Amino acid sequence: MKEIDPARIPRHIAIIMDGNGRWAQKHSLGRVLGHRKGAESVRATVKTCRRLGVPYLTLYAFSMENWLRPKEEVRALIQLLREYLDGEIQEMMDRDIRLAAIGDLDSLGDPVRTKLQEAIDKTARNQGMVLNLALSYGGRDEIVRAARNLVSDALAGIIKPEEVTKELYRRYLYTTGLPDPDLLIRTGGECRVSNFLLWQMAYTEFYFTDVLWPDFREQHLLEAIADYQQRERRFGMTSDQLCRT
């Protein structure tokens, strides 16, 4: 197992869980079974993050673009989410995990939306870790939605154009109240961001691995964190400047 420095655990880890379909194909199974196996990796990853003391974990569970997949697959993904919420709520309570969600949640439909809200409400006082699920989420859509609400507030006289700053803009994003991710992990071998947290990842460290999401376990997470801990985050400054701060 990789050695990691417990004093420098990323505050916020975001994960693009890719490779369920390929995992299924590799094992001569249907795509849905790949997602089902992927849900096991979700459980394992949440557990490890909680144990390591990661304060925020955001998982890209369903993108806006995923609605374009075959109806059966979409239905299965929504069903898996329902099962996950049913099965994990007690675990979240036991482990002091607060559930949050970002995205166009209303588009998920009433039954799952209600279940999600119940889980969010039930875990609202938990303080050990925030598990944030990105559901029907798209980064550009989030930015457009924020702009729309901001313009609407400006027209209503609630804000003035000169008051629009990065800090104010943040308050209109789904992620208001969450810190930006320190580390993005993408499994499945692709090296792109796929419309995920576009505003928030301005200074995020990226880690790409060929491991398919259903195979992703504690050792892989530790490898990603160890890699992150070797990087020097300069936020646009020089190394010398960083040494002096």
Question: How many chain residues bind ligand FPP (CB under 6 A)?
Answer: 20
Inter-residue contact 23 to 215 (CB < 8 Å) = yes
Stretch that binds ligand FPP, among 16-24, 48-56, 140-148, 192-200 (CB under 6 A): 16-24
Per-residue mark of binding to ligand FPP, 114-143 (x: CB under 6 A): -------------------x----------
Query: Among this protein's residues, is 66 annotated catalytic?
Result: yes
Using CB under 6 A, pick the residue from 10, 12, 14, 38 that binds ligand FPP: 38
20 sits near ligand FPP (criterion: CB under 6 A): yes
67 sits near ligand FPP (criterion: CB under 6 A): no
User: Minimum distance from CB of 199 to ligand FPP (Å)?
Assistant: 22
Nearer to ligand FPP, 61 or 178 (CB): 61
Separation in Å, CA 189 to CA 26, 70, 111, 173: 15, 23, 34, 29
Q: Site residues for ligand FPP, window 197-216 (CB under 6 A)?
A: 213
103 sits near ligand FPP (criterion: CB under 6 A): no
Query: Among this protein's residues, is 96 annotated catalytic?
Result: no
Using CB under 6 A, pick the residue from 13, 14, 39, 221 that binds ligand FPP: 39
Using CB under 6 A, pick the residue from 47, 66, 159, 198 that binds ligand FPP: 66
SS3 for the chain is CCCCCHHHCCCEEEEECCCHHHHHHHCCCCHHHHHHHHHHHHHHHHHHHHHHCCCEEEEEEEEHHHHHCCHHHHHHHHHHHHHHHHHHHHHHHHCCEEEEEECCHHHHCHHHHHHHHHHHHHCCCCCCEEEEEEEEECHHHHHHHHHHHHHHHHHCCCCCHHHCCHHHHHCCCCCCCCCCCCEEEECCCCCCCCCCCCCCCCCCEEEECCCCHHHCCHHHHHHHHHHHHCCCCCCCCCHHHHHHC
Using CB under 6 A, pick the residue from 2, 22, 47, 115 that binds ligand FPP: 22
Give the residue nearest to ligand FPP (CB). Answer: 21
- Footprint on this chain of ligand FPP (rule: CB under 6 A): 17-22, 35, 38-39, 42, 59, 61, 66, 77, 80-81, 84, 133, 188, 213
- Catalytic residue list: 18, 66
